[in-house]
């Protein structure tokens, strides 16, 4: 395979982007290590796409510095940056064949036609589209178009490869397959990639690290596991995976282990720097176990809703600490609506979180 990688790191140093009075990205700093895949995750309007476009050079930073490798590219336009991008809409040129699309970047950077075409064929082979070169984009399926877009970005051997919600136009099954392919190619070639998505499951699946953004700032940065198990605040806890956010009381803290009272249940949780007093906890829906009848020492609750989803059942339980959303894998023993249940919490999946003003 003649497609190699020139992976370089990406560094944001206190970068701000304002559109008139609206600040889209506010004093954001992070570093994407060479060869790693980092996801920018967040709700729409959080500034993640603007951040990506600033790496590409499609938007210019209002303040701060952007480095690719050791080079300061802050004022460099897109044309002059060694970065390529896969667009949400694919942005395949509809008047060019697949091979013309893939070799476009090579041709405009001055490579002779034969060499460009050869490299483009390698690129197509890499994404599994050998022999599709003479088709027009309109003659391909959505997944194939997506892969052409990836090949087109890959063949330039960019220092950084950017993905702007690349899977959002695909159906659910295809989405899973293409994201695995993208991850494989990225790891095999050792590419530095920045990936934007609003789908937390997608982010957890493909990323080395995830940067969660909210209101133009970084809410938390970390590995998928860190984000899920130790969310920095209520926003992250709620955004990564589902979480029931409930009030709790820290009774005492000893050796970084807090004894926490949730309703009438008492749990020992990592204190995460919090001290005695009122607090909030995030409870994952899987961490709640239900048992019919009022046996066991759990909290009392009533089943208000239940939805059968094949692989699991989703319940809404009314309890003293509020409504709880519960995912239960025991499909065979469904609990009928309006039954009384006893609610228990497993240690794993309950986290103390700092509350922020951005909490929902």
Partner 1 sequence: MNRTVALWLAVGWLGYAILPWYAIEDGFWIFEWLLDGYPLDSDYAPGILQAFVDDKIWLAPISLFLLLPLGLFGRAKNDPLFANLLLISGVGGLAYVGLQGFSIGISGWEYATLEALFGALGQRQFGLGYGALLTCAAFLFFLTQGIAARGAINGDVFVVGSIGLVIALVGIFILFPVIQILLSALKDEAGLYAPNVFLSKLFDKKIWGLGCLGSNVSCGAAWNSLFLAVTVGAGTTTLGLAFALVVTRTGFRAKKLLRALTVLPIITPPFVIGLAIILLFGRSGSVTQFASDLFDIPAGRWIYGFPGVWFAQMLAFTPIAFLVLIGVVEGVSPSMEEAAQTLRANRWKTFTSISLPLMRPGLANAFLLGFIESMADFGNPLVLGGNFDVLSTEIFFAIVGAQNDQGRAAVLAIVLLGFTLSAFYAQRRWLGKKSYTTVTGKGDSGTHPYLPKRLSWLVYGTAVPWALLTIVIYAMIVFGGFVETWGRDHSLTLRHYISAFSVSSGEDGLLWTGSAWNSFGTTMVIAGVSAPLTAAIGLVTAYLLVRQRFAGKNAFEFGTMLSFAIPGTVIGVSYVLAFNIPPIELTGTGVILVICFIFRNMPVGVRAGIASMSQLDKSLDEASLTLGATSFMTVRKVILPLLRPAIVAALVYSFVRAITAISAVIFLVSANYDMATSYIIGRVENNDYGLAIAYSSVLILVMLAAISLVQLAVGERRIRRRSETGDGAMPTAGSTAA
Among 29, 71, 109, 346, binds partner 1 (CB under 8 A): 109
**Does 66 contact partner 1 by CB under 8 A?**
no
Beta bridge partners of 221: 211
Binding range to partner 1, per CB under 8 A, among 72-80, 186-194, 255-263, 308-316 = 72-80
Nearer to partner 1, 78 or 265 (CB): 78
Count of beta carbons in the 10 Å neighbourhood of residue 15: 23
Between 113 and 276, CB nearer to partner 1: 113
Query: Are the C-beta atoms of residues 211 and 38 closer than 8 Å to each other?
Result: yes
- In whole angstroms, the minimum distance from the beta carbon of 326 to partner 1 comes to 31
**Rounded to an integer, what distance in angstroms lies between the CA atom of residue 59 and that of residue 48?**
12
Nearer to partner 1, 168 or 300 (CB): 168
The answer to the question of residue 47 lying near partner 1 (CB under 8 A) is yes
Q: In terms of Cα–Cα distance, which of 130, 61, 75 is closest to 102?
A: 130
Which of 7, 12, 57, 258 lies at the binding interface for partner 1 (CB under 8 A)? Answer: 57
d(CA 319, CA 265): 12
Q: What is the total count of residues that contact partner 1 (CB under 8 A)?
A: 49
Contact status: 114 vs partner 1 (CB under 8 A): no
In terms of phi and psi (left: phi > 0; alpha: psi -120 to 50; beta: otherwise), the region of 275 is beta
Residue ranges of alpha helices (H) inside the chain are: 48-56, 98-108, 113-126, 142-154, 172-189, 200-206, 224-229, 234-239
Mapping DSSP onto H, E and C, the string for 157-174 reads CCCEEEEECCCCCCCHHH
Binding region for partner 1 (CB under 8 A) out of 93-101, 219-227, 232-240, 348-356 = 93-101
Residues 333-352 vs partner 1: string with x where CB under 8 A? --------------------
Q: Identify the sign of the CA torsion 105, 111, 114, 119.
A: negative
| Contact map string, positions 159 to 198, toward partner 1, x by CB under 8 A | ---x--x--x---------------------------x-x
In sequence order, the β-bridge partners of residue 322 are 319
Q: Does 325 bind partner 1 (CB under 8 A)?
A: no
Residue 58 interacts with partner 1 (CB under 8 A): yes or no:
yes
- Going by C-alpha positions, the residue among 84, 162, 100 that lies closest to residue 134 is 100
**Binding status of residue 145 toward partner 1 by CB under 8 A:** yes
β partners of residue 32:
10
Is residue 42 within the footprint of partner 1 (CB under 8 A)?
A: yes
Give CA–CA dist 286/251, Å, rounded. Answer: 25
Q: Contacts with partner 1 in 125-144 (CB under 8 A)?
A: 136-138, 140, 142
Of 152, 175, 179, 280, the one binding partner 1 (CB under 8 A) is: 152
Under rule CB under 8 A, residue 60 binds partner 1: yes
| 46 closest CA partner among 13, 62, 23, 12 | 23
Rounded CA separation 275/256 (Å): 9
C-beta of 89: minimal distance to partner 1 in Å?
4
Residue 21 touching partner 1 (CB under 8 A): no
Contact with partner 1 (CB under 8 A): which of 5, 36, 84, 192? 84
Show the CA angle centred on residue 168, arms to residues 117 and 356, nearest 5°.
Answer: 130
Judged by the rule CB under 8 A, the positions of this chain that interact with partner 1 are: 42-50, 56-58, 60, 75, 77-79, 81, 83-85, 87-95, 104-105, 108-109, 136-138, 140, 142, 145, 149, 152-153, 156, 162, 165, 168, 196, 198
């Amino acid at each position: 395979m003649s497609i190699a990688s020139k992976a370089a790191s990406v560094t944001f140093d206190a970068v701000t982007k304002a559109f008139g009075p609206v600040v889209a990205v506010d004093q954001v700093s992070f570093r994407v290590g060479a060869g790693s895949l980092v996801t920018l995750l967040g709700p729409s309007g959080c500034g993640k796409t603007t951040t990506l476009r600033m790496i590409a050079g499609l938007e210019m930073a209002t303040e701060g510095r952007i480095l690719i490798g050791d080079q300061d590219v802050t004022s460099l336009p897109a044309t002059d940056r060694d970065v390529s991008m896969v667009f949400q809409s694919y942005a395949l040129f509809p008047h060019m064949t697949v091979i013309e699309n893939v070799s476009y970047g090579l041709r405009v950077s001055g490579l002779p036609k034969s060499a460009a075409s050869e490299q483009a064929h390698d690129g197509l082979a890499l994404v599994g589209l050998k022999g599709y070169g003479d088709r027009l984009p309109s003659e391909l399926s959505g997944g194939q178009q997506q892969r052409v877009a990836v090949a087109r970005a890959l063949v330039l051997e960019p220092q950084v490869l950017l993905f702007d919600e690349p899977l959002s136009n695909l159906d659910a099954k295809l989405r899973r397959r293409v994201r695995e392919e993208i991850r494989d190619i990225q790891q095999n070639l050792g590419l530095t990639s920045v990936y934007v998505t609003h789908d937390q499951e997608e982010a957890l699946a493909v990323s080395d690290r995830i940067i969660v953004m909210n209101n133009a700032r970084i809410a938390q940065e970390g590995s998928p596991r860190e984000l899920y198990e130790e969310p920095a605040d209520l926003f992250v806890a709620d955004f990564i995976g589902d979480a029931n956010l409930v009030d709790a009381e820290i009774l005492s803290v000893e050796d970084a282990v807090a004894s926490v009272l949730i309703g009438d249940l008492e749990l020992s949780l990592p204190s995460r720097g919090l001290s005695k007093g009122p607090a909030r906890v995030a409870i994952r829906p899987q961490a709640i176990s239900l048992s019919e009848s009022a046996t066991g020492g759990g909290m009392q609750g009533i089943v208000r809703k239940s939805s059968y989803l094949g692989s699991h059942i989703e319940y809404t339980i009314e309890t003293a600490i509020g409504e709880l959303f519960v995912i239960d894998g025991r499909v065979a023993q469904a609990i009928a609506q309006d039954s009384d249940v006893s609610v228990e919490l497993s240690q794993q999946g309950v986290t103390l979180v700092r509350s922020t003003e951005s909490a929902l």
